[in-house]
Structure 1
Amino acid sequence: MPTSPVTGRPGSSAAAPPSPNGTGEQILLELVDEDGTTIGTAEKLSAHMAPGRLHRAFSVFLFDDAGRLLLQRRALGKYHSPGVWSNTCCGHPYPGEQPFVAAARRTAEELGVSPVLMREAGTVRYNHPDPASGLVEQEYNHLFVGVVRDALHPDPDEIGETAFVTAAELAAKREEGPFSAWFQTVLDSVLPAVREVTGGSGGW
């Protein structure tokens, strides 16, 4: 397990797309084949340009002790899927970074908490275009499920709002406004592990 993430910093180019984080730094993702084997790297935004390039990602689902799922509404300033609700945390490992390490790191960065008892919950591969932005999620996604017990301290640049919901409350919230294009796919894939973690509480 690497001791620190590796960040790619290719040389600047006038033709390069803008950095998603607004700093001018180009962020690299791991490109993978259909078996999840690393085959190279690509700049983050270019990997999401249609038709998309298959890359490694992760999705985290954290629950409180009552079995309620922690949702986040993505900040309005996000370059991809701004203002929509999604699962607790999503992201991409740095090249060479283990997905579990990346999931824990990014959860802490976005929400200001460390997951408890977080466990791997399989993988899912999907291809989801985002009609609003024209970007495409071609991802080999590593799934994680865990518990959150500490107070949240969301980064406002990443998260506009948070909510803990039961399964019934989630269904109602989905009637109120849009969710991320990938949400249903990752939720369906992670549900068996969710039921083990929650013991059926929360209606899962």
Structure 2
Amino acid sequence: MTTDELVVLVDDEGRAVGTAPKLSVHGRETPLHLAFSSYVFDGDGRVLLTRRADHKLTWPGVWTNSCCGHPLPGEPLDRAVTRRLSYELGLAVERADLVLPTFAYRAVMGNGIVEHELCPVYRVTAEAPAVLNPEEVGETRWMPWQEFATRVLKGELAISPWCAEQVPLLVELGPDPMAWPTAAEAELPPAARVAAG
């Protein structure tokens, strides 16, 4: 990825209001911008967890969900998910299913750096082993979803703040990730719908 990669800035209604270089928007005054989170599952119902590379600007070395990222301007979110899964984890997946279309969060690191994202969440299935890109991922681990969710809800796992907020919402969708209802593209924020359309 180039250092001048652009992210889509959005207002509180989820409408696109411009773009900015990715490196410029993650600081102490991080504007709300469009992103995504994804959870990769295998056929045994295990979820792929990743530890963020130690040199990442935000939450370095922290365990989190399978893959997060930002769509490029004009890029449909589901395509951004599959692009980043290939880039970060070497996974070739056919599709990404939208499960939490309007998730958003704001979190502040101890050093004052802020993440502030409108961040729809996707479910993905994959069977091939992950091939880590060390620029992005320090290590991976597969864990049964129920074990992971239970430990997150009990506060027993140190994970990223966005993942900690997403897991309770995913649990509400049902105990079997493969049976979670999928959301329609029309439920995405306007900025993401424009990109998809």
TM-score (norm 2): 0.79
Distance 1:66 1:41 in 2: 40
Distance 1:183 1:86 in 2: 6
Contact conserved, 1:30 with 1:94, CA < 8 A, in 2?
yes
Paired letter, 2:141: A
Runs of 4+ in 1 over 4 A off after TM superposition: 169-174, 192-196
Q: What does 1:36-47 align with in structure 2 at a 5 Å threshold?
A: 36-47=14-25
1:72 aligned to which of 33, 50, 60 = 50
Paired letter, 2:132: P
Where does residue 102 of structure 2 map in the other structure?
Answer: 123
Give the greater-gyration-radius structure (CA).
1
Unaligned residue ranges in structure 2 (runs of 5+): 181-197
Q: Deviations over 1:97-120 (max 9, x none)?
A: 111111110011111012355211
**Is 2:31 the counterpart of 1:53?**
yes
Instruction: Note the C-alpha offset of 1:86.
Output: 0.4
Q: Percentage identity across aligned positions? A: 35
Paired letter, 2:4: Q
Where does residue 156 of structure 2 map in the other structure?
Answer: 175
Where does residue 184 of structure 1 map in the other structure?
Answer: 164
Contact conserved, 2:41 with 2:126, CA < 8 A, in 1?
yes
Q: What does 1:1-204 align with in structure 2 at a 5 Å threshold?
A: 25-121=3-99, 122-131=101-110, 133-166=111-144, 167-169=146-148, 171-172=150-151, 175=156, 178-193=158-173, 195=175, 197-199=177-179
Contact conserved, 2:48 with 2:142, CA < 8 A, in 1?
yes
Unaligned residue ranges in structure 1 (runs of 5+): 1-20
Instruction: Note the C-alpha offset of 1:193.
Output: 4.9
Instruction: Note the C-alpha offset of 1:199.
Output: 4.4
Paired letter, 1:184: A
Instruction: Note the C-alpha offset of 1:45.
Output: 2.8
